Structure 1
């Protein structure tokens, strides 16, 4: 179980760190109180992760080879998506205005709600959600995958709130994309090789 928690954590962490979610959280934290942003973002992640685990649980009822093949293809697609995003970030700065416009002056519970709404909307169909579904469907350990995935999302959003701007000074965004792409590629190949040799 600890191995699956670690697998889910590492997979989601590396994929989410260079994602729009990190940037959206960073921008929200510059406009609102960071703690309120982190609470709102964390609640959005919790709801999204519960939904992804539920969908993955339903998908686990499908034939094993089909599940593993689809999971492998999702990992490979994630590798391609992250590679393309990494290349685009080598040539252009990320546009933060989209998220800044959604962040309006607010207080207390309204700040939490604003952060929740922005991140909840941004996460639908996100790569981390698809990977969570795939991991649950493949390993049939929803609790372990939930714990690992949610922990990764909370750590990424915490980093965005606390050290986001400083982190991006030392590590280029495209490097994070390339690292995420490499991990997805390894997971995809490993999964598909397992299907082919079973």
Structure 2
């Protein structure tokens, strides 16, 4: 690499605002420690065992990316409140989240990850069984009536997206709604650079979801959700302090 290219690269790095870097790192770190061993992680892992990994990943990351952007927008609305208030509120909430994660981690069993994995697996199995029972016991006339109404919508939908994609997207979106990582994204966006929060959050979700679809069962058996939760608690505490420092 020539000196001119090196200087240009260093110049671009130097031009990146510190607030963006802090927001990006904070969002990436918080998402990773929140999502490893979480319900959305295991949904992707279990679905990837039976379906195309790429399709499951695409559906899950689409849902998580959309959720990240929506959460960041919710947080951005709060920026109309004087920044000093949002900064202190964000730091306080991160501090509370951190303490709660540490307390939760200390009370968890060592096989918490495997238990969560099995719970999600049972939920997905019941969902599939309920769908089969409904299709078998439904009144033929009613089914035909509903089919006429929904047939066009279904054809258009499935022409654009596969059933696996839609299931992965829907289940992930619903599981993520109200989750700790969503609330953390809202809080970060209220106090930090919104673009940095979005990019860091999406990358964090992509890393966790990619790990889930590639080896979710192995991760569930090897990873200690208890340890990750405790570490995550300390990460939240660290960013509670850095939020005040970078205020």
TM-score for the superposition, normalised by structure 1: 0.85
**Deviation digits for residues 40-86 of structure 1, max 9, x if unmatched?**
00110111011111111101111222212221232123224433443
**8 Å contact from structure 1 (residues 31, 103) kept in 2:** no
The equivalent position to 1:43 in structure 2, one of 52, 62, 77, is 62
Computing the radius of gyration over CA atoms, which structure comes out larger, 1 or 2? 2
Displacement, 1:14? Answer: 1.3
* Aligned position for 1:98: 123
1:127 to 2:180 alignment: yes
Displacement, 1:129? Answer: 1.1
**8 Å contact from structure 2 (residues 29, 204) kept in 1:** yes
Instruction: State the superposition RMSD in angstroms.
Output: 2.5
1:27 to 2:34 alignment: no
* Aligned position for 1:155: 207
* Aligned position for 2:136: none
Distance 1:73 1:89, change over 3 A: farther
Structure 1 segments unaligned to the other structure (5+ residues): none
1:32-181 equivalences under 5 Å are 32-86=51-105, 87-90=107-110, 92=112, 93-94=115-116, 95-96=119-120, 97-102=122-127, 109-139=162-192, 141-181=193-233
- Distance, in Å, in 2 between the alignment partners of 1:103 and 1:25 is 16
The equivalent position to 1:11 in structure 2, one of 6, 30, 33, is 30
* Aligned position for 2:17: none
- Distance, in Å, in 2 between the alignment partners of 1:103 and 1:53 is 33
**8 Å contact from structure 2 (residues 37, 220) kept in 1:** no
Displacement, 1:3? Answer: 4.1
Greater mean deviation of Cα atoms: 66-75 or 182-191: 182-191
- Distance, in Å, in 1 between the alignment partners of 2:234 and 2:170 is 31
- Distance, in Å, in 2 between the alignment partners of 1:99 and 1:180 is 27
Distance 1:42 1:194, change over 3 A: same
Structure 2 segments unaligned to the other structure (5+ residues): 1-19, 132-157
The number of residue pairs the alignment matches comes to: 193
